[in-house]
A and B are shown apart, each in its own frame.
Chain A
Amino acid sequence: MKKAAYSFPEEVLEHVFSFIVSDKDRSSISLVCKSWYEIERWCRRKVFVGNCYAVSPPILIKRFPELRSVTLKGKPHFADFNLVPEGWGGFACPWIRAMAGAYPWLEEIRLKRMVVSDESLEIIAKSFRNFKVLVLSSCEGFTTEGLAAIAANCRNLRELDLRESEVEDLSGRWLSDFPDSYTSLESLNISCLGNEVNLLALERLVSRCPNLKTLRLNRAVPLDRLPNLLRGAPQLAELGTGAYTSEMRPDVFSNLAEAFAGCKQLKTLSGFWDVLPSYLPAVYPICSQLISLNLSYATVQSPDLIKLVSLCEKLQKLWVLDYIEDDGLEVLAASCKDLRELRVFPSDPFGLEPNVALTEQGLVSVSEGCPKLQSVLYFCRQMSNAALNTIARNRPNLTRFRLCIIEPRSPDYLTLQPLDDGFGAIVEHCKDLRRLSLSGLLTDRVFEYIGTYGKKLEMLSVAFAGDSDLGLHHVLSGCDNLRKLEIRDCPFGDKALLANAAKLETMRSLWMSSCSVSFGACKVLGQKMPRLNVEVMDESGPPDSRPESSPVEKLYVYRTVAGPRLDMPGFVWTMDDDSALRIS
């Protein structure tokens, strides 16, 4: 073989590869041949690890010695809804320690649903001289002391984003630990913090960082301090307000309105806790430039929401409570023709009776009026097959469709039939659908539709649905691109799981809780599939103290090259291939 004729110098290949950014493409490149694998791994700068237990720090470091950016995800998605007990895992420390040693030039760390300690934050603060980005999304385990270490030491920090993390807020003093010489902040998200930060320190920080584009405040920042902050950062593109309430005083209002009007680049708004409706008009001057509006905490009524939304003609993303009602969604459909994403959250999730006039009609209106709508998350109390059919036909361009009918197993409210056909229409017409969440009364038939049509489906969430193993079998055997499957309270059991064991190696993970999978089947799966970690969770005691046919409480199966994990708490058992139960 004439090697010379077929090879480019390494430097040329490296240069070419530097234009390839997507993980999938990088992965493909590395599979071409050994030398491409070698070249690629040395010049890979950014890595995304969707499940921190699928690989280990040494394996990562060995393959990619020169990373600048690492993203890790820990707990399964259902942890967001209290289904994963405390102590389950997702510890960031081993990763951070290892990376501190291996990547002195690391610039970015993004963690999601992981347990991060103050110690880890201190290590980050002291180990990476050019550290720029820290994003802790839905993380927990750290306090404001850890933040103080970051503030005090990371001279080149550009982004500090704590979105939705649970932080033990010991004091607001940490913000003052940013030195006066520090001016490189571009993005700050402290919306999850419970206590007041030092407001003076915040104002000074904001006004001395000329590149600050994103500022998301926490609820404790009072509204009357907002104008000063805005005046200190007129270049702001994204703002999250604090509590949006104050004594009603005309000077506070006009000050606020003026400050908002001065932010000509402001495109994204969020926050809005405790909204006093009479202060909403302060944002009217900038509504026409907004592309994203998050009103999930704004507990105001439909008329106020309608006025606001009708002014946002460029809106692409709206997150709102169901106070907006069907009427409001109709106005949205008429005013916001550029809408790409809509999320409607329930204002009274635990009430039995509807408290607002929001039905399937609202979603139908938006599907009719907004041609670019791709992503939907909708909580409601009634749905019909007819409505779902209409939505599917109106919007074949949907890529994410998550519907939550609040009452489990609710049938089509018009016909009292299961909603199989409606969801079937969604998967059939929306050929690019990547994410789907089901709810309502559903039989095995809906899964047949999903298996038949959901060829691009990557993530499926199922609750209180199906009749038998056939349902699960349809999904596992039919959905070619399935990566994540999460199921709760469904009568799915051993047969479908074991018959499709090989499929599980092609997926990131499978979660099943309150289903009918037996302990015996979990053991078989664990033995059969050495490259899967089959983890059984049971808070009532070791599963082998009950008959093998007993269903397990929770099952989490994921593919891994790192073998069974060693940090499991007492209520997690791994079913590994030497068939011994390892109880940690």
Chain B
Amino acid sequence: MEEMVMGTLDLITASPHSSSSSSSSPTTDNNNNNNHPSSSSSISTRRTDLSTDLRLGLSLSPSHYSTPSSREQRSSFDWPPVKSTLRCTLVEKSQISHFVKVYMEGIPIGRKLNLLAHHNYHALVKALANMFRTTILCPNSHQLPLISGNNVHVLTYEDQEGDWMMVGDVPWEMFLTSVKKLKITRADRC
């Protein structure tokens, strides 16, 4: 779509991964871990003026403008074309830990959890269910909350834009870069 084409311009001039760096907690060390000592001097990063070149590649059909943030997010989970198993391993390696706060509805004191200790949603939900001693419905499971009791919860998270979302809709790696905090809410409230 044309909006994607225009959006790429923003991608190249701005940092597309500001979302990932701002979500990291003080203990993460995004770009320093794996730098080879000799890397900086021998690489030429010629990022002079790409706008001419971009215009060459752009379609001449009418364009729609997408918001830069939606384009940035998209590119980080389907580009570059790296399979999710490798992607997960690399994300982990570049961030040793990623602690987020977790609150459960009705309990004023929260907990802290290292997201990177888990490899997928299933593991995360299991860990939280244990931590808070409750039943948490697995994301994407087809169980409907038939039990309207107090002890069935769902997991939600606050993303970079401050919105509260259901956990489980986006790929795990994308979730890792956009989650700010977690909340366990009663299933019958959603």
Cα–Cα distance between A297 and B81 once the two chains are bound (Å): 16
Which one of B83-91, B104-112, B128-136, B150-158 contacts A?
Answer: B83-91
In the assembled complex, how far is the CB of residue B63 from the closest CB belonging to chain A, in whole angstroms? 10
Q: Indicate if B27 sits at the interface (CB-CB under 8 A).
A: no
With known contacts A80-B81, A413-B46, A491-B59, A356–B39 Cβ distance under 8 A: yes
B59 — which chain A residues lie within 8 A by C-beta?
467-468, 491, 516
Q: Closest A-chain residue to B85, C-beta based? A: A164
With known contacts A354-B39, A355-B31, A409-B8, A345–B86 Cβ distance under 8 A: yes
- Interface pair B82/A441, CB less than 8 Å apart: no
- Interface pair A489/B80, CB less than 8 Å apart: no
With known contacts A82-B78, A297-B89, A349-B82, A467–B39 Cβ distance under 8 A: no
Number of interface residues of B (CB under 8 A): 56
With known contacts A345-B86, A409-B8, A81–B81 Cβ distance under 8 A: yes
With known contacts A297-B89, A442-B57, A516-B1, A355–B34 Cβ distance under 8 A: yes
In the assembled complex, how far is the CB of residue A250 from the closest CB belonging to chain B, in whole angstroms? 27
Q: Indicate if B17 sits at the interface (CB-CB under 8 A).
A: yes
- Interface pair B94/A348, CB less than 8 Å apart: yes
Q: Which of B35-63 contact A (CB under 8 A)?
A: 35-36, 38-39, 42-46, 48, 50, 52-54, 56-61
Chain A interface: which size bin? Answer: 35 or more
Q: Indicate if B116 sits at the interface (CB-CB under 8 A).
A: no
Cα–Cα distance between A25 and B84 once the two chains are bound (Å): 37
Q: Indicate if A6 sits at the interface (CB-CB under 8 A).
A: no
Q: Please classify the interface of chain A as helix (H, G, I), strand (E, B), loop, or mixed, using the class held by over half of its residues.
A: loop
Q: Indicate if B140 sits at the interface (CB-CB under 8 A).
A: yes
Other A-B contacts than A381-B43, A406-B80, 14 sampled, CB-CB below 8 A, are: A194-B122, A194-B123, A297-B89, A325-B36, A345-B86, A355-B36, A356-B34, A357-B36, A408-B12, A463-B79, A489-B8, A516-B1, A516-B61, A551-B2
Residues of B within 8 A of A (CB): 1-2, 4-5, 8, 11-12, 15-17, 20, 31, 34-36, 38-39, 42-46, 48, 50, 52-54, 56-61, 75-87, 89-90, 93-94, 119-120, 122-123, 140, 171
A–B complex contacts, Cβ < 8 Å, 30 sampled: A80-B81, A80-B83, A82-B77, A83-B78, A194-B120, A194-B122, A297-B89, A301-B34, A347-B93, A348-B34, A349-B87, A350-B16, A350-B17, A353-B45, A355-B31, A356-B34, A356-B35, A359-B43, A404-B80, A407-B12, A409-B12, A413-B46, A418-B53, A418-B56, A441-B57, A442-B57, A463-B79, A467-B60, A491-B2, A491-B60
